[in-house]
Amino acid sequence: MIHFDDDEYWAYMDNEAIESEEYTDILNTAIHEIGHAIGIDHIEAKPEAIMAPFYRYTRDAFGNYIPPKLTTFDIAAAQAIYGARKMKTNDEDDNGYNPPSN
């Protein structure tokens, strides 16, 4: 279950709202909370990770919005639980079916 706190003011990729520091970027928070929902813990020593233990400010030094992006640390944490995506081989169809060769 993912819960968004009623006490927060949420903005969706709204740079001006986020600049006011009265609003929290819901996209960044949603990705982080979904990470917890699928079993990922905080990644302590990587402040750039979506799964860092604190809110990541989504504006750069020039005041531009930084869209949330999974880092290699976030991806590795998910793959540690679920495994890496299986790459399709040339012989497989789009459903992953590998026809027997004669």
Distance, in Å, from the CA atom of 68 to the CA atom of 66, rounded to the nearest integer, reads 6
Distance, in Å, from the CA atom of 82 to the CA atom of 76, rounded to the nearest integer, reads 10
Residue with tokens 């998910």: 78
Known binder of ligand: residue 8? Answer: yes
CA-based nearest residue to 11, from 57, 42, 49, 44: 57
Of the listed 21, 33, 44, 48, which one is catalytic? Answer: 33
Known binder of ligand: residue 42? Answer: yes
Cβ neighbours around 18 below 10 Å, total: 21
In the chain, the amino acid numbered 29 is T
Q: Is 33 a catalytic residue?
A: yes
Known binder of ligand: residue 51? Answer: yes
Known binder of ligand: residue 94? Answer: no
Residue with tokens 């750039």: 48
- Tell me the catalytic residues: 33
Q: Which residues are annotated as a binding site?
A: 3, 5-6, 8, 32, 36, 42, 51
Q: Which residues are annotated as a binding site for Ca(2+)?
A: 5-6, 8
